[in-house]
Amino acid sequence: MSQRKRSRGLGPSQGGDGDEDFNLSPTPSHSQVQRNLERRSQDQINQKVSELVQFLLVKDQKKIPIKRPDILKKVIGDYRDVYSEIVNRAGRTLQQVFGLQLVEIDTKHHIYILTSDLPRAEGENLHRDNQTAKLGLLIVILSFIFMKGNSAKDGAVWEFLRRLRVQPGERHEVFGDVKKLVTEEFVRQKYLEITPIPLTDPPEFKYQWGLRAAKETSKKDVLRFVAQIQKKDPTFWTSQYNEAEA
């Protein structure tokens, strides 16, 4: 079976690391999984596959990255011995029916997201109306970070937002608690990564693109966005342009 075609392995890890929450016995080999499969009926396995597909779809609608211990606890249960088969089938189903790819964005902690196989269409609103505004804010922040060379200090980011009349202290009429949205929600959804800068007092933070941002948009798109706003050609910013085209 050629299920290793896709980027990262979807099956159990080679070691027990990162699974403190759920002690896995030694990873079953491929032939063991096949033998374990024979103990279950087709219907039972199909049922688990469809439960996993639904679980992944629901979690992903909220842009919550999916952790393996959750999958094991909430969906797989007693079928742990055929986990790899269920996950592989769910992945194939997601591709064939939904055009979605199950991607492991964190191979150490086994965290997954779904990304679309389909090319993003011009002006397509893939998100519900109340999410669009949030994504607009996110794109603005991602652009700022990219234009600053892929990393920006928190002070610079918030000063930039302040100029756009988005303040961390005030309750924004569209975004609500902006500080929470940016530093908690966007981080949890893996759109932004915020890390403390060592040896700073008062403590400063570094803002970078999160793992999901890298998968769902591209530097090219972001540069094009900035160029549109500033009514210039993307080539105006030579180093960012070269980086985006690389």
Nearer to another protein, 52 or 152 (CB): 52
Task: Tell me if 93 contacts another protein by CB under 8 A.
Answer: yes
Q: Hey, which residues between 176 and 215 contact another protein (CB under 8 A)? A: none
Query: Are 177 and 171 within 8 A, CB to CB?
Result: yes
Q: Return the residue of 1, 25, 26, 121 that touches another protein, per CB under 8 A.
A: 121
Task: Tell me if 124 contacts another protein by CB under 8 A.
Answer: yes
Residue 217 to residues 92, 131, 182, 209, Cα–Cα distance (Å): 23, 16, 18, 10
Which stretches within the chain are classed as H helix?
30-38, 42-61, 68-71, 83-93, 129-147, 154-163, 178-180, 186-188, 211-216, 219-230, 238-245
Residues with Cβ within 8 Å of 229's Cβ and at least 6 positions away in sequence, in order, are: none
Query: Are 189 and 64 within 8 A, CB to CB?
Result: yes
Nearer to another protein, 98 or 175 (CB): 98
- Residues 14-43 as x/- pattern, contact with another protein by CB under 8 A: ------------------------------
Task: Tell me if 171 contacts another protein by CB under 8 A.
Answer: no
Query: Are 186 and 138 within 8 A, CB to CB?
Result: yes
Residues 95 and 86: their CA atoms lie apart, in Å, by: 14
Q: Hey, which residues between 43 and 72 contact another protein (CB under 8 A)? A: 46, 50, 53-55, 57-59, 61-62
Task: Tell me if 126 contacts another protein by CB under 8 A.
Answer: yes
For the chain, the maximum distance between any two Cα atoms, rounded to a whole number of angstroms, is 64
- Binding window for another protein (CB under 8 A); candidates: 77-85, 98-106, 188-196, 202-210: 98-106
Which DSSP state fits 81? G
Q: Please give the size of the binding site for another protein, defined by CB under 8 A.
A: 26
Q: Return the residue of 4, 35, 73, 74 that touches another protein, per CB under 8 A.
A: 74
Which residues in this chain contact another protein in the complex, by CB under 8 A?
A: 46, 50, 53-55, 57-59, 61-62, 74, 93, 96-100, 116-118, 121, 124, 126-128, 130
